[in-house]
Amino acid sequence: MEVEFLDSMSNERIAAAIDTRSGGKLAGWSKYGAVKEAFKFWAERLKKRLDEISGKLYR
């Protein structure tokens, strides 16, 4: 999975990431399971980092 974050005004790349990990426990059930698991992982990781930057505690 690949993700890219662009500045809405300048269209400049702010961040990019590539996930090359193989599927986990849900991946055996369907391709959708692997995608869902990857999105969950990256969403939680992004939330934690944004909370750290803004000074909030991660829970």
pLDDT tens profile 13-38: 988 888 776 655 545 566 777 778 87
pLDDT score, position 7:
92
* Selected residue with higher pLDDT from 57 and 52: 52
Q: Give the global pTM.
A: 0.54
**Higher per-residue confidence, 9 vs 2:** 9
Per-residue H/E/C for 10-48: CCCEEEEEECCCCCCCCCCCCHHHHHHHHHHHHHHHHHH
Q: Is pLDDT at 9 greater than 90 in this prediction?
A: yes
Report the pLDDT averaged over residues 44-49.
88
pLDDT at residue 58, as a whole number: 53
